[in-house]
Amino acid sequence: MNLGQFKQATQDMAATYQLWSRFNQQALPLLMMSGYTDQIILTPHINGRLTLADLRNIPDNNERNLLIKWENQQQLVFGYHIQGCQLYLG
């Protein structure tokens, strides 16, 4: 999923949703590690406070892919689900 697709799919959701993902059966909040020319890398971190508003506020290039990277693995974000006030990316 690229940033533009993500923004469009989540446009009617509350901007305050915190972004999380699951790693080895453990739920962890996400941080934005970096934004490169062609991708935006998100990474799990115990102190992660990334919100839907943070991704919506990234300007310009909506063609950049959203990737989740942990340890030596990475995966393209292909969807999400809502649990409480948390938006889980996967």
The pLDDT score that the predictor gives to residue 58 is: 87
Over the stretch 47-60, which tens digit does the pLDDT of each residue have? 999 999 999 998 87
What ranges do the domains of the chain cover? 3-89
64-to-11, 39, 59, 89 alpha-carbon distances in Å: 17, 5, 11, 16
The pLDDT score that the predictor gives to residue 37 is: 74
17 backbone dihedrals φ, ψ, rounded to 5°: -55, 135
The pTM is what?
A: 0.89
50-53: Cβ within 8 A, 24+ apart: 50/18, 50/19, 51/15, 51/16, 51/17, 51/18, 51/19, 52/10, 52/13, 52/14, 52/15, 52/16, 52/17, 52/19, 52/87, 53/15, 53/16
The pLDDT score that the predictor gives to residue 38 is: 83
The pLDDT score that the predictor gives to residue 36 is: 66
What stretches in the chain show pLDDT beneath 50?
Answer: none
